[in-house]
Amino acid sequence: MTGLRPAPARVVLRGRTVVPGVVTGEVLVSPETISGWGGIDPATGTITEARHPLAGVCFTGRILVFPGAKGSSGWSGFFQTTRLLGTAPIGMVFAVTTTKVALGAVVTRVPALADLDDDPVAVLRTGDRIRLDATAGVVELLARTEEEP
């Protein structure tokens, strides 16, 4: 766990509700799109794609911030399985809406936001603490990680 400091200035992103709900937690930023089938292990809640920058990293209990989904139509089923096995992320914030990621967020049943007014992957950093109000369509940075990006 890295240290946190107060957010430097008020950082707020606004977006479109994908799945309503409110959650506060730590961010995991994936700089690249994520594969479901062949890309994650639902049993452990980790990213497994060998060439992915987050290979081996666990998303369980964190708010996943990522550009979007890639790969097979099994995407939603794999994330649904993380919910059934208790390894799911607690929220999702993504840039590009596709059927794969939209259905995936629905069946993972976590607050989810998309189509934001700024790129969440560029603005947020792994380790940041945010409040995701997907009902109102707002992400607020509560505390900034002390880790350099």
List CB contacts of 102: < 8 A, sequence separation 6 or more.
18, 114
Task: List the one residue from 11, 44, 74, 123 that touches another protein (CB under 8 A).
Answer: 74
From candidates 4, 7, 103, 123, binder to another protein by CB under 8 A? 103
Active site annotation includes 73? no
Choose the catalytic residue: 30, 35, 72, 76.
72
Q: Is residue 99 within the footprint of another protein (CB under 8 A)?
A: yes
- With binding defined as CB under 8 A, does residue 81 bind another protein? yes
Residues of this chain, 22-51, that bind another protein according to CB under 8 A: 38, 42-43, 48-51
Distance CA 14, CA 52 (A): 28
Question: Is residue 125 near another protein by the rule CB under 8 A?
Answer: no
> Is the four-CA dihedral 66, 70, 73, 75 of positive or negative sign?
negative
Q: 89, 62 in Cβ contact below 8 A?
A: yes
Q: What backbone torsions phi and psi does residue 78 show, to the nearest 5 degrees?
A: -70, -40
Distance CA 35, CA 110 (A): 18
**Minimum distance between the CB of residue 16 and another protein, rounded to whole angstroms?**
6
Residue 54's CB is within 10 A of a number of other CB atoms, namely 21
Q: How far is the CB of 10 from another protein (least distance, A)?
A: 27
Q: Closest Cα partner for 58 from 37, 84, 86? A: 86
In the bound complex, what is the minimum distance in angstroms from residue 140's beta carbon to another protein? 22
The site for another protein (CB under 8 A) is made up of 16-19, 38, 42-43, 48-51, 69-77, 80-81, 84-85, 96-100, 102-107, 112
